[in-house]
Chain A
Amino acid sequence: MQPNSIYFALFFTTSGAIKFHRILQNLNIVSEPMPVPRKLSSSCGIGVKFSYGGDLNLLYNEDIEKVFEFQGNQYILKYEN
């Protein structure tokens, strides 16, 4: 397991964001729904910020639009659906 990184996931629908948040909670992954930062465009206004050190591929689902990694002051695109 690598050290945790901070990620921000964007979704097509709010329902998708809530579903993802619930999945992360069940996996004991620290996460929080929050408004999508203005610099990231999104289909829905609510994203999920989470701290994770594992393989991101294990978390992707069809509800996710994009996943960014937060490094310094920059968002690095890690996944796009």
Chain B
Amino acid sequence: MKEIYFDNAATSFPKAPGVAEAITYFLTSVGCNVNRGAYTKAYQTEEVVYETRELICRLFHFNQPNNIVFTKNVTESLNVIIKGLLNPGDHVIVSSMEHNAVMRPLTSLKTRNLEVTILECNKEGSLSENQIALFQSLIKFNTKAIIMTAASNVCGTILPLEVIGRLCREKNIFFIVDCAQMAGFSEMDLGRLNIDALAFTGHKGLLGPQGIGGFIVNDRLATSIKPLIEGGTGSFSEHETQPSYMPDKFEAGTLNIPGIYGLNAALKYLFQVGINSIREQELYLLELFLSKVLDFPSIQVIGKKDLMYRTPILSLNFPKHDNAEVSYILYKEHGIMTRSGLHCAPSAHKTLGTFPQGTVRFSFSHFNTDKEVIKAVDCIRDILTR
């Protein structure tokens, strides 16, 4: 049985062509550390690391490669930003669509007198004009930041970053964006969106390997964040305090250089194929799937029912079945890989009305095909007859 992978929101597969080769090349033919040794191979490695920072800059229309910080994933990036920025007595606003990568660090800090307000989203996972107006009334004298996902990992809805970013700038509060599901689907202009920090991961839409991610931070915010991890950077070695220069301030210890080589290859592939082409193919597959499942009266499509302001994620609820069982049958009998449950986002599921039963999430890649989507529809039809 040929397997079909529809769990790209968890991690993309297959990876971009060239990713595995780049990692293998590093591990078998280079192998050097960066910021330490002073020999040609080390410089060549540093060139690749720096070039990868430049590629990330290009993707997000940012012009300071040294302000690209590599971490292991978006969760670590958000922890660095949240725990390094927010102090007891501060107030922060988050959308109700946030992943636990945001919610758990904030819940932890609440025990240390951090005040957190949740801005409720609507049943489509977005913010109406009234809810945006409410956002302004939630801002207080001690509001330091708003943290918002660019796009929901549950239902794919893209949030109105431009409006929120503009309000943040007007009110002089930091705007921090979780880009886990948006990177690689759409280019983003950090300056236009007034984003102060953007956390990304390399292994989802960027089509790179697991274990490499990072964040982009402007100078305004970088100086306000204390480093979470401190240690050797290869710079200022005579001092036993963490340097304040970027990116060393946040990059203590040896980087995941094989991961950076893989991400470098993945980013070059994205630019070669074109993010717009990738998005068109993914939305084409989503439209095909959506148009078919909307015809099944016994299935609930969660969130938006159209293609506007969304990524290629679709969550379905099967009221007459157990969602976990549907996901299990799809794989066991048909080889179709999906993810059921709460997707590490209980607040988002409460917003969408799917807590605690969760949903079956289908998330497409441009490597998927019409044939695979049609097969999934046929399998769902089969399951509904049981």
Contacts and interface: CB of A to CB of B under 8 A. Distances in A.
Interface residues of A, number: 17
Main secondary structure of the interface of B (DSSP, over half): loop
Contacts of B234: 14, 44-46
A45 B34 CA distance: 11
Interface string A36-62: 000000011110000000000000000
Contact of B35 (A14, A19, A35, A63): A14
A43 B245 CA distance: 10
A12 B247 CA distance: 11
A14 B46 contact: yes
Contact of A12 (B36, B53, B243): B243
A43 B50 contact: no
A22 B233 CA distance: 21
A22 B235 contact: no
B237 A19 contact: no
Contact of B47 (A13, A16, A18, A35): A18
19 contacts: A12-B235, A12-B236, A12-B245, A13-B233, A13-B245, A13-B246, A13-B248, A14-B34, A14-B35, A14-B46, A14-B234, A14-B248, A16-B66, A18-B50, A21-B47, A33-B38, A43-B235, A45-B38, A63-B66
B47, B235, B237: most-surrounded residue (chain A CB, <10 A): B235
Nearest to A17: B46
Contact of A19 (B34, B50, B243, B248): B50
A33 B49 CA distance: 15
Contacts of A13: 35, 66, 233, 235, 243, 245-248
B65 interface: yes
Interface string B98-133: 000000000000000000000000000000000000
A15 B50 contact: yes
Contact of B66 (A15, A33, A45): A15
A14 B235 contact: yes
B43 interface: yes
A33 B35 CA distance: 12
Nearest to B248: A13
A33 B32 CA distance: 15
Interface string B26-68: 0000000011101000010011011001000000000001100
A22 B35 contact: no
A4 to B, nearest CB: 22
Given A19-B65, A33-B43, 15 more contacts: A12-B243, A13-B35, A13-B235, A14-B34, A15-B50, A15-B66, A16-B245, A18-B50, A22-B50, A35-B38, A43-B235, A43-B236, A45-B234, A46-B38, A46-B234
A44 B47 contact: no
B65 to A, nearest CB: 7
A34 interface: yes
Given A13-B245, A13-B248, A43-B243, A18 B46 contact: yes
